[in-house]
Chain A
Amino acid sequence: MAKDIVAGALCCVGTFFFLLGTTGLLRMPDVFTRLHPSTKCDTLGACSIIIGMAVHSGWSWELPKLVIIACFLLLSSATCGHAIGRSALRRDIPYWRKKTGEVEGGDGS
């Protein structure tokens, strides 16, 4: 019973981070600030859900599989974030700055 509650709580935390990441992706003004919340989806969000599932499954053969999935997820999503950020930086994509005298900042580039 306690196991189910812990697993459910961890899954809720994961979904919450996915919601935050998606909101940030839609609301942030430029590439770098968008990258910041959207990389949280895979690391914090998906890993919390996987930890929740691992708690739910207990000591079984599902556990090593979930650990391997989490490892690959961390490796590949970190690499993706690095590649997107690096190529945006090298291409001299301008940073977003708050323009004075305008209500809405950013040009959506």
Chain B
Amino acid sequence: MKNLLALLFIAALAALLLYVVANMPPMGDPENPTATHVIPRYLEGAEEETHTVNVITGIILNYRGYDTMGEVTVIFTALAAALAVLGRERRGRIYAYVDRSGVPSSVIVRTMVRFLVPLIVLFSVYTILHGEISPGGGFQGGAIIGGSMIVFTTIFGLYESSRRIPQKVRFPLEGAAVMVFFLVGVLGMVGGGDFLTYAWPKAAAALHPALVTWLTVLVEIGIGLGGAMVLTSILFCMIREEEEIAVVA
């Protein structure tokens, strides 16, 4: 009886979903709402207007620069909220992280993590720097570094990982994303345009492609570093124990 009811419910749900899918606009139709409003303008004008090969990067960092700046601020606010609740570690101290799992990590896992984490970080550097011309970018690269730090910290403990990324490196870089975005925006105003203008009107037109490329890469690096440090700081403040075990040399 119960099975029959469940089966009937699933059948009704499937019928509803199939009905909705049947009424969706066909895939790849040029009459679709997504393809008729603002996308044609982006696809046609991105190459000349933003001087980026990758249209996605052009849209995210150039056409919708304000939106991305807001996202960066959201990430920074998340760190601020986590620190407001859990508190920042005292300057120059290293805190203990007690592995309560009961099963210490084995030699195989330790060796593999030690072997893989540098390669993961290398891949994230590639993702950040190549984001201008291929899929990827600052957000993804920063998240990859944050993920590698989570793996490293759970296996080797907070002491080892906060020796690798000490506080005095994390503090200035946490705001890197917001600061770099703001700096590039103000530079656009200095160059004679509006806030977040990549191609400065005062600069020679021949310089525009190179200028836009370098500013975009700068913003990508800022987002990547800032995101990675924010994730690492949130991880550290969530994972640490109350007592300090060592003073940083």
Contacts and interface: CB of A to CB of B under 8 A. Distances in A.
Binding between chains A and B: yes
Interface of A: 72, 75-76, 79, 82-83, 86-87, 90-91
B113 to A, nearest CB: 8
Contact of A76 (B102, B103, B105, B116): B116
A11 to B, nearest CB: 23
**Interface SS majority for chain B:** helix
Interface of B: 101-103, 105-106, 108-109, 112, 115-116, 119
A90 B106 CA distance: 11
Nearest to B104: A90
**Interface SS majority for chain A:** helix
Contacts of B103: 86-87, 90-91
Contact of B102 (A72, A75, A91): A91
Contact of A83 (B102, B106, B116): B106
Contacts of A76: 112, 116
20 contacts: A72-B116, A75-B112, A75-B115, A75-B116, A76-B112, A76-B116, A79-B108, A79-B109, A79-B112, A82-B106, A82-B108, A83-B105, A83-B106, A83-B108, A83-B109, A86-B106, A87-B101, A87-B103, A90-B103, A91-B103
A68 to B, nearest CB: 10
Given A79-B108, A86-B103, 5 more contacts: A79-B112, A82-B108, A83-B109, A87-B103, A91-B102
A90 B102 CA distance: 9
Nearest to B111: A79
B144 to A, nearest CB: 13
Contacts of A75: 112, 115-116
A17 B145 CA distance: 32
A85 B103 CA distance: 11
A51 to B, nearest CB: 22
Nearest to A75: B112
Contacts of A83: 105-106, 108-109
Could you say which of A76, A82, A83 has the most chain B C-beta atoms within 10 Å of its C-beta?
Answer: A83
Contacts of B115: 75
A-B pairs with lowest CB-CB distance, top 6: A87-B103, A90-B103, A79-B112, A83-B109, A82-B108, A86-B106
A86 B104 CA distance: 10
A83 B102 CA distance: 13
B104 to A, nearest CB: 9
Nearest to B123: A72
Contacts of A90: 102-103
Contacts of B102: 90-91
Nearest to B101: A87
Contacts of A86: 103, 106
